[in-house]
Structure 1
Amino acid sequence: MRTALVIGTGLIGTSAALALAGRGVHVHLRDHDPDAARTAAARGAGTDQAPEGPVDLVIVSVPPAHVAATLAAAIRDGLGRGYIDVASVKGGPRRELEALGADLSGYLGTHPMAGRERSGPMAATADLFEGRPWVLTPTRDTDTEVLNLALELVALCRAVPVVMDADDHDRAVALVSHTPHLLSSMVAARLRDADETAVRLCGQGIRDVTRIAASDPRLWVEILSANPGPVAEILAAVAADLDETVRALRALEAADDDKREEGAAGLEDVLRRGNAGRSRVPGKHGAAPAAYETVTVLIGDQPGELARIFADAGRAGVNIEDVRIEHATGQQAGLIQLMVEPGAVASLTATLRDQGWSLRQ
């Protein structure tokens, strides 16, 4: 791949352009907002000048509702040898393209499973896709050349290609992306009118649950509007669980011992099913989740502290498998949780104590 045209210079489009430009591809940028294209160009993502002829690959990175029309126009105008989109839904745009009479042999639907809470070209980074799955949804009509171009794009962005059927993809992202976003927003919405004393008690749990609720609502309306059926089906199943859970909690308020036991059993059932589902989430490097031990350490909020504790872990010969920080309310300190292999706990804790760190149970 020597040349590419990115249509849509938001977070995803500009991030792909930055990755390609950084690896020697001559990237052209186009956006309905010329200022956005100029901003992306100023960041080194390519040029906002139109290409002189067909490029190797046209990457359409526009909201789902506009994908089919944008692709159809690009194909009609012969802008490239191959065409892909990076929308978060795949079945709908393909069917819309078919209805528009577009030649689908040069088209391949894709979806990089990466993003941020911020949007726009200023939020883009060349490493956004590194190590992340990038779904490809070829059909029997897809030219091998286009598939190879898409695979080259994924490799240049240092992502991991995953081949799926388009409708299977849409059902999958409804489960692992779209529904969680709605549920996060619903929980976060409870905080809007909550008493200030309650909000001040927010800990890491509520921060984890509501993190993705900070995303752009207009963008998510467009995403959800393109995949409403699968999301509604999953939410209906969640609603049934919520109804059962409410009944279980009400039963715990009853004076009758049998009803209270029934309520406790109902709660335990949903919690155990949650345990079983959580255990299926891939762990480090996509492997099965490992049973790590957590070493919790008090850490000051000042420059160099993270570097120092990681250096001390290295001195102990311990690999940190994962890390979390829980910030203390109203204090310039927090608790850092270092996840390590069980056999490494003794060596790590001994070294950290020798280096003056304050450990917590």
Structure 2
Amino acid sequence: MRTALVIGAGLIGTSAALSLTSRGVTVHLDDHDLDRARTAASLGAGTDAAPDGPVDLVIVAVPPAHVARAVADAMVRGLGRAYLDVASVKGGPRRELEALLRGTGQDLAAYLGTHPMAGKEKSGPLAATGDLFEGRPWVLTPTRDTDTEALNLALELVSFCRAVPIVMDADAHDRAVALVSHMPHLVSSMVAARLENAEEAAVRLCGPGIRDVTRIAASDPRMWIDILSANPGPVADLLAEVSADLDETVRALRALQSEDETARKEGVGGVEDVLRRGNAGQTRVPGKHGSAPRVYEAVVVLITDQPGQLARIFADAERAGVNIEDVRIEHATGQQAGHVQLMVEPQGVSQLTQALRERGWAVRT
């Protein structure tokens, strides 16, 4: 791949363009908002000038509702040798594209639907980074009709972005992302909505649990309306299952208020059931490097809000010979301090705790 055209200079399109330009590919940027294309170009993602002729790969990075028309327009105009999109829904746009191309002399051989499983709460070119996709799954949905050239160019793009290619059927992909992305986003938003009119005294008690659950609720609603509108069926099916669990859990909690001992026991059983099923589901979430999740222990260190605190902790952990597997930070309410949780292998807890205490850190496990 020597040349590419990115249509849609948002977070995903600009991040892909940054990755390609860093590998020496000449990238042309196009967006209906000229300022976005200019901004992306100013960040080093390519040029906002139109290509002189067909490029090797056209990357369509527009919302799902506009994918089919954008790809069809690019194909009819002959803008590239191969075409792919990066939208989060695959089945519907592909069927719509097939319908749009009827009678145009074009077919789907040069097209491949893809979806990089990466993103941020913020959107737009200013949020883009060249390493956004590094180590992340990038789904490819080829069919028997897909040209080898189109597939190879898509794989080259994934390689340049240092992502991990995963081949799936388009409709299977849509059901999967409904489960792991679209439905959780709506549930996160529903939980966050409870905070909108909550008393200030209650909101001040927010800790890492509520922050974890509501983090993705900060995303742009307009973007998510586009996504959910393109995949409503699978998401609605999953929410119906969640709704049934909620109804059962509400009944169980009400039973715990009963004066009848039998009813209370049934309530305990109902709550325990959903919690245990939650435990079982959580253990299936891939852990480090995509492997089965491992159990780590937390070494908790009190830190102040000053430059260099985290760097010092990491350096001291290195001297102790203990690898930090994950890091979480909990900020103290109303204070310039907080706790950093260093997740380590169980056998490293004692060694790290002793080393940090010897260097003056306030540590608890």
- On whether the aligned pair clears a TM of 0.5, the verdict is yes
How far does residue 301 in structure 1 lie from its aligned partner after superposition?
1.1
Indicate the RMSD between aligned Cα atoms, in angstroms: 0.6
One-letter code aligned to 1:156: F
CA distance in 1, matches of 2:305, 2:53: 54
One-letter code aligned to 1:298: L
Q: How many residues align?
A: 361
Q: Corresponding residue for 1:67?
A: 67
Kept in 2, the 8 Å contact 1:9–1:40? The answer is: yes
Structure 1: which 5+ runs fail to align?
A: none
TM-score by length of 1: 0.99
CA distance in 2, matches of 1:261, 1:296: 37
One-letter code aligned to 1:290: R
Kept in 2, the 8 Å contact 1:75–1:103? The answer is: no
Q: For residues 328-354 of structure 1, give each alpha carbon's deviation from its aligned partner in whole angstroms, at most 9, with x where no partner exists.
A: 001111111111111111110110110
**What is the percent sequence identity of the aligned residues?**
77
Structure 2: which 5+ runs fail to align?
A: none
CA distance in 2, matches of 1:222, 1:131: 26
One-letter code aligned to 2:68: A
CA distance in 1, matches of 2:80, 2:293: 42
Q: List 4+ stretches of structure 1 deviating above 6 A.
A: none
Q: Corresponding residue for 1:347?
A: 351
How far does residue 359 in structure 1 lie from its aligned partner after superposition?
1.1
SS in 1 for 2:195: helix
CA distance in 2, matches of 1:57, 1:169: 23
Q: Corresponding residue for 2:320?
A: 316
SS in 1 for 2:298: strand
Q: Corresponding residue for 1:177?
A: 181
SS in 2 for 1:104: coil
One-letter code aligned to 1:11: L
TM-score by length of 2: 0.98
SS in 2 for 1:192: coil
SS in 1 for 2:29: strand
Q: For residues 302-357 of structure 1, give each alpha carbon's deviation from its aligned partner in whole angstroms, at most 9, with x where no partner exists.
A: 10000000111111100001110110001111111111111111110110110011
Matched, 1:253 2:257: yes
Match of 1:112 among 98, 110, 116: 116
SS in 2 for 1:140: coil
One-letter code aligned to 2:56: D
How far does residue 22 in structure 1 lie from its aligned partner after superposition?
1.1
CA distance in 2, matches of 1:357, 1:165: 52
Q: Corresponding residue for 1:264?
A: 268
Q: Corresponding residue for 1:15?
A: 15
CA distance in 2, matches of 1:348, 1:40: 44
Matched, 1:356 2:360: yes
Q: Corresponding residue for 1:144?
A: 148
Match of 2:161 among 157, 182, 197: 157
CA distance in 1, matches of 2:343, 2:43: 37
How far does residue 50 in structure 1 lie from its aligned partner after superposition?
0.5
Q: Corresponding residue for 1:230?
A: 234
Kept in 2, the 8 Å contact 1:2–1:25? The answer is: yes
CA distance in 2, matches of 1:39, 1:336: 36
Kept in 2, the 8 Å contact 1:4–1:26? The answer is: yes
CA distance in 1, matches of 2:112, 2:148: 10
Q: For residues 157-181 of structure 1, give each alpha carbon's deviation from its aligned partner in whole angstroms, at most 9, with x where no partner exists.
A: 0000000000000000000000010
CA distance in 2, matches of 1:207, 1:183: 14
CA distance in 1, matches of 2:264, 2:364: 36
